Amino acid sequence: MAEIRYIDAINQAHHEEMAQDARVLVLGEDVGRKGGVFGATMGLVEKFGEDRVIDTPLAESSIAGVAIGMACNGLLPIAEFQFADFIHPAFNQIVSEAARMRYRSNGVYGCPVVFRAPYGGSHGTALYHSQSIEAFYAHVPGLKVVAPSTPYDAKGMLKAAIRDPDPVLFLEHKRMYRIVRGEVPDGDYTVPIGPAAVRRPGRDLSLFAYGWMLSESLAAAEEMAREGIEVEVVDIRTLAPLDTATILKSVAKTNRALIVYEDNQFLGYGAEIAARIAEEAFFDLDAPVMRLAGPDVPGIPFAKPLEEWFSISRGKIAASIRTLAAY
């Protein structure tokens, strides 16, 4: 075991999977000599060469389309989008082509491609570099969507995504890259796509989160414990397919549910979790299902006070916990 940063876990997964399987390759903007805008692909081009680490033009639709073509012809491509905000030109390729490949071929063809995208707000990145895009893509059958919250999961789930026979959108909250650290095994391992994880057991309410919001939620839960409120924190980590069973089991235990996500509240990803709880655990509830999410404005502002107003912090989470616990 070694304690490493989230970004190092991502980088290790690339190196190990490319070393183990010659079909794995990487393409995207500045993934080669620069090593990626965040350093996720550092050292790959020196080790594996330009035939397997491909710097592409600034054309996201082409990045996705070329990756899909590679996947349909026996390769295992990892397509990086520099920021999740820029993935939208590739929406048609991802949603209408990659996600539907197995369905339209009646199971004959898969599309084993990984689309990596850094998402979320971070330190003044403002309107066009802070979007949370998960709700758009989790809506699409045939596309798996994951958002790991720890270095251990980041490495293990990226390995699992690369080995998956169908397309996976792999979301990495960029605030986590160099802040979040954790122990990661030296040997090969994977973390299965699908199951959620209870990160902190509790009795008074259930809190559901993923990505950076998981880190903030755990910090808020520790603060609440000092006030006598024990919060069960569940890491969703796989957004599609959703592990409904773990969610319902937690709600049955605590009888209260708080869902925390950074995206705009209206039709955000947490709305689906709220709907599942309302439909399938109504008689377990002692209070309304509560969501804490970003305000419904077009983006995270650049100005620091306004960025803080938009962002979900451990203080805001703690305040919501107090409200729900007292209901």
- HSE on the CB side for 191, CA within 13 Å? 22
Residue by residue, DSSP assigns 284-318 as G-SS--EEEEE-SSSS--SSHHHHHHHS--HHHHH
H helical segments located in 39-109: 44-48, 60-71, 91-92, 101-104
CA distances from 58 to 80, 114, 125 (A): 11, 18, 19
- Please pick, among 14, 15, 123, 129, the residue that the annotation labels catalytic: 129
Report the C-alpha gap between 155 and 161 in whole angstroms: 10
Closest CA to 166 of 227, 119, 219, 98: 98
Question: CA 197, CA 246: separation in Å to the nearest integer?
Answer: 8
Helix (H, G, I), strand (E, B) or coil at 56: coil
Do 204 and 230 meet the contact criterion of CB atoms below 8 Å apart? Answer: yes
Buried b (16+ CB within 10 A) or exposed e, 144-179: bbbbbbbbbbbbbbbbbbbbbebbbbbbbbbbbbee
Pairing relation of β-strands 257-264 and 290-294? parallel
- 88 carries an active-site annotation: no
Q: Which residues form the catalytic set? A: 129
